[in-house]
Amino acid sequence: MTTTYDSRKRILVTGGAGFLGSHLCDRLLEQGHEVLCLDNLFTGSKRNIEHLLGNTRFEFLRHDVTFPLYVEVDEIYNLACPASPVHYQHDPIQTTKTSVHGAINMLGLAKRLKCKILQASTSEVYGDPAIHPQREEYWGNVNPIGIRSCYDEGKRCAETLFFDYHRQIGLQIKVARIFNTYGPRMHPSDGRVVSNFVTQALTGGPITIFGDGTQTRSFCYVDDLIDGIIKLMNSEDDVTGPVNLGNPVEFSMNELANTVLRLTGVETSIDYKPLPDDDPKQRRPDITLAKNVLGWNPQIQLEEGLHSTVCYFQELLRTG
């Protein structure tokens, strides 16, 4: 895709120094747009965007979305929020504020600018699902007072705000429900299963599995996910979402651990521990809607994506 000067947009990416945000900044710059990357660096890292700092179409702004922001942009991608249990449970009150106050502030900015805004929501809005796979019309099975509630309910409230702004004032919104995503630039200590398994294997293990390893997850490679997010933002005005974005192919934790061990060439043990509270037993998206309205379907197989991820973590551990 080639962007001419007349079609170039100035795009705000909140959480732009994070795992997903930095890849989104890369892609938008590749398309010829100007990018304003906003991040308070709580979980994001300048390392993720340092290769962009010399680009004249890229600007980094250190800012917390819980405070109002006054900038001029043409589109907003709201990705700001800790997304792993280790990080969002560290300060659960701030996590809820980031989801709710952050949504209010970004929606207010979009209202003033009369611009389109995309919310990065999450599969966590489904909680521990009573149906499988999960479709967008499913309302979820969420514990409102559990240790994961700051993230789950914060994201659910953000979705409510987005749709109320859409219904009440006609704001142009897009809501993506993102399922497990992995790839280079994941935080090595974020507590997510892929980064856990890879770093544990590369540092000598053992690999820790919570539960008996039969619980399943679906894993979407970051490049596929970014494709989906951009397709959703650029979709027809009447496509508001929510739209599931994720890979519908399920793998058990045991299968994932064995694949990581094979790709790293490490021989180590697997340590089984009790399952944490409110941890869902299975999670898989139904992506029929994304296929139909976006023409989107993930292309990268788990082994190919894990190979790139392992290489990234090997280099990260080597260089510090």
Q: What is the DSSP string of 93-132?
A: HHHHHHHHHHHHHHHHHHHHHT-EEEEEEEGGGGBS-SSS
Q: Are 149 and 142 in contact (CB under 8 A)?
A: yes
Phi, psi for residue 248 in degrees, rounded to 5: -80, 0
Q: How many CB atoms lie within 10 A of CB 154?
A: 24
Find all residues with CB under 8 Å of 194, minimum gap 6, and list them.
180, 182, 186, 219, 256, 260, 306, 309
pLDDT at 3: 64
The pTM assigned to this predicted structure is 0.93
Give the separation between CA 180 and CA 252, rounded to whole angstroms. Answer: 13
Q: Which two tokens stand for residue 274?
A: 């009790």
Q: What is the pLDDT of residue 2?
A: 56
Report the DSSP pairing between strands 34-39 and 10-14: parallel
Active site residues: 151
Please report the pLDDT score of residue 56 as a whole number. Answer: 97
pLDDT of residue 319: 83
Q: Which domains does the chain have, with CATH numbers?
A: 10-185+220-247+284-298 (3.40.50.720)
Contact 83, 108 (CB under 8 A): no
**Per-position pLDDT tens, the chain of length 320:** 556 666 899 999 999 999 999 999 999 999 999 999 999 999 899 999 999 999 999 999 999 999 999 999 999 999 999 876 777 787 899 999 999 999 999 999 999 999 999 999 999 999 988 888 999 999 999 999 999 899 999 999 999 999 999 999 999 999 999 999 999 999 887 888 999 999 999 998 799 998 899 888 899 999 999 999 999 999 999 999 999 999 999 999 999 999 999 999 988 889 999 887 656 667 789 999 999 999 999 999 999 999 999 999 999 988 86
Structure confidence at residue 4 (pLDDT): 61
Torsion on CA atoms 147, 148, 152, 157, rounded to nearest 10: 30
